[in-house]
A and B are shown apart, each in its own frame.
Chain A
């Protein structure tokens, strides 16, 4: 008996199963907002926590998707709205201003319909959008969200002038949401954590900060990632779960 065709068939079957498992784990939901239809990639899970956010840019958020899948495997549902594609915007910082806040609150409303505890998550300048969304959500007297994870937030209004306290974007200090701030140890922004935390607390947020040693900002998007950054990227789901714990979730 020639074993090669059998092995080949077995390998192909295994691959097909793996791919199928991945596809089955993800659902697509279209949320209609006033200005655009936003595609939301859903990694469903049975637990009572729903994490809404992450940058989701036309399939390029590979590390985020892996993290989302890993979280879903552990019972945390993840929703990744592709805001940029929905509004046909390029992946540049200035695009964020173009995204109307109420488009995010529409997606938050959909997420809350699941009955799960909804947490928000974003990184870099995208953190502005979830802060905007959270404050508008609260202003409309909606049921409270459970918290937000801001990964290496970039919320300066302008480049900070040496010797002066920086000015932050308008969304900072407008929400009461409990906030977890994560920042890389190898970025100057870590030295601004206390100041940012203080500004965020002005509206009543309870803010927890954590510096992740030996990594730079955007570590999970870097082409030139070092060993520490690779390790932390592979453990990002754990980082998120620890953050949720700090935000007051004790059932993980």
Chain B
């Protein structure tokens, strides 16, 4: 009897582990080839960044705002994430959702993100990328297609996330 049950227990345990891992990661895989919309914005230093210039790199495009609690909380883990990507060419473009430069600069002085902050005061990219909540994340593969989306704050330097995103650098 026990022998019959054991494989089921094992199976359920494994399923639980897999489900648990999927929830921890929170990434939603995008099926098929879905090209990332255009993104051309200036950073806080006035330099223009165009997403298409980062073709050949894995890019995390994040839409965030200073008033978004989870955005503030996860930014230190995004700093750490950049140091853990190894030899995978990787870039973070964090698009502020329609706030003023003064508001964003004050936030940057406090939270100290070490990645590129882009300004979109008119919210044009927010509309074209269909963003309705913050933080909204898009992981863009080296081919310029959206590979994963993720809503909500996470620990970006968690081993599961790093592993999944690093794998995109080998495709």
A160 and B132: CB pair below 8 A? yes
Binds A, one of B49-57, B85-93, B123-131, B155-163: B123-131
Q: Using known A-B contacts A163-B138, A164-B130, determine if residue A191 contacts B28 with beta carbons closer than 8 Å.
A: no
- The answer to whether A161 has its CB under 8 Å from any CB of chain B is yes
B→A interface (CB under 8 Å): 28, 30, 34, 63, 65, 67-68, 97-98, 123, 126-127, 129-134, 136-138, 146, 149-152
Closest to A211 in B: B98
Chain A: interface residue total (CB-CB under 8 A): 19
Contact A162 B67 (CB under 8 A): no
CB contact under 8 A between A188 and B65, given known A162-B130, A162-B150, A165-B130: yes
Chain A residues 139 to 190 lying within 8 A of chain B, measured CB to CB, are 156, 159-166, 186-190
B131: chain A residues at CB < 8 Å are 162-163, 188, 191
| B residues less than 8 Å from A17 (CB atoms) | none
Residue of B nearest to A184 (CB): B67
**A160 touching B98, Cβ below 8 Å:** no
- Asked whether, in the complex, the Cβ of A163 is within 8 Å of the Cβ of B149, the reply is yes
How many A-B residue pairs have C-beta atoms within 8 angstroms? Tell me: 60
Q: Which residues of A contact B (CB under 8 A)?
A: 156, 159-166, 186-192, 194-195, 216
Closest residue of chain B to A159, judged by CB?
B151
CA distance A190 to B134 in the complex (A): 11
CB proximity of A213 to chain B, nearest CB, Å: 11
Given A162-B129, A164-B130, CB of A191 within 8 Å of CB of B123: yes
Contacts of A161 in B (CB 8 A): 28, 149, 151
Asked whether B146 lies within 8 Å of A191 as measured between CB atoms, the reply is: no
- Of the residues B34, B97, B129, B130, contact of A188 by C-beta under 8 Å: B97
A194 and B130 CA atoms in complex are apart in Å by 11
B130 x A159 contact (CB < 8 A):
no
Q: Chain A's nearest CB lies how many Å from the CB of B36?
A: 9
B34: chain A residues within 8 A (beta carbon): 163
